[in-house]
Amino acid sequence: MINSPFFRRAALAAAAVSVVAIVAIADAPANLTASLKPGKLQIKSAGALAFGPDGVLFVGDSLGGSVVAIDTGDRNPSKGAVAINVDGLDTRVAAMVGIPADQIVINDMKVNPLSKNVYLSASRGKGPDAQPLIIKVDTAGAVSNVSLDNVRFAQVSLVDAPEPNPTARQDPRTTTITDMNYVDGNLLVAGMSNEEWNSALRSIPVPFRNAEQGATLQIWHDSHGRYETASPIRTFVPYTIAGRQYVIAAYTCTPLVKIPVGDLKAGAKVKGQTIADLGAGNQPLDMVPYKKDGREYILVANSAFGLLKVQADHLETYATIDSPTKNPGTAGMPFDKITSVTNVKQLSQLDASSAVVLTATSGPGPAYAPGPPVGPMSLKTIALP
């Protein structure tokens, strides 16, 4: 547990984000923004978000089985220290779009690394008739709706998206896209597929030309005591380990797995290396890698376990977990529980020393699958512990 106060105005970052935990938003490909064409963007849902170069926002449309790149035009670098704190966010968004606050569902959140403005994907209403929304919260706390009626964009369909099955325990189409990150000219897209191994991690070149069949994944799930191929990655971050590019992925009930980016070829079956077990009955929500006092960490937001500060030094030294451990929930990478912040539902890095969290009451479902959070919702800036 961290003894220093956790809520406070974020200090101006003194250094860049750790090179071993970089999200690889480098110089834009010369034709990225030029490839985006103006028009009316039509999507069925707005879920996972990721930022690329030049303020380009990627939006996952699970119901539509596609990914969209949007030119936000939000390219002015922030000046000085930034702290974003907005209470009653759900009420403000609801008033803006003309519905009750309990009909606003927040699906994901990302900070624009250039401007430090916050973007959220949301739904106006619940159920099959819900309308997708993209919400912007600027560094002064002003809330606005990002219009999709006349925007520069590109869209690519996923050839391996699962077929809808509304009668299933969880319709696989709703988890077509669970998380995304832009890495070195490619968009990595995690979620479910229609392949024999359902769990997929797709690498899509940017600018979009097409989206080939993704790689599919097998992992050892320590809490379940078996190999699994049918559970999607819930959240992941790019990570450089011993000079090689990986992703560190978190799954429900809660293994942490490293997966070589170089293995993510179209149609490949990839076996991930489980290097930690954080415990059962939990769903990981977001991850933020960072460096502090010469050490490397990953801050993980969870549905049941709250915030966990996972030690991430020398990840190449952790042995593969591939058989049942004596004490599930304690294997591999050590971690500390951060109790100073509660009810975190979304987490995104603001700068090298701070993050933005969305806090709300948990949904009515079980801890490992709580469903959308309910209000009141607030944005808060916290110091990375």
Which residues of the chain fall short of a pLDDT of 70?
A: 1-31, 326-329
In-domain check, residue 252: yes
Q: Are 349 and 378 in contact (CB under 8 A)?
A: no
pLDDT value at residue 116: 98
- Segment 126-164, tens digit of pLDDT: 887 899 999 999 999 999 999 999 999 999 999 999 999
For position 325, what pLDDT does the model report? Answer: 75
| pLDDT at 11 (0 to 100) | 38
CA dist., res. 170 & res. 173, Å (int): 9
- What pLDDT does residue 30 have? 53
Q: What is the pLDDT of residue 13?
A: 37
**126: CATH:** 2.115.10
Q: Which two tokens stand for residue 96?
A: 């803006």
pLDDT value at residue 327 = 66
Q: Is residue 305 part of a domain?
A: yes
In a domain, 11, yes or no: no
CB 180 within 8 A of CB 188: yes
pLDDT at 368: 87
Per-residue pLDDT at 367: 86
Residue 372 has what pLDDT? 83
Does 328 reside within a domain?
Answer: yes
How many domains is the chain partitioned into structurally?
1
Token pair, residue 149, equals 């009626």
Residue of 276, 353, 272 lying closest to 311 (CA atoms) = 276
**Is 3 among the domain residues?**
no
pTM for this entry: 0.91
Residue 285 lies in a domain: yes
Specify if 2 maps to a domain.
Answer: no
What range defines the domain where residue 125 resides? 19-383
Does residue 128 form part of some domain? yes
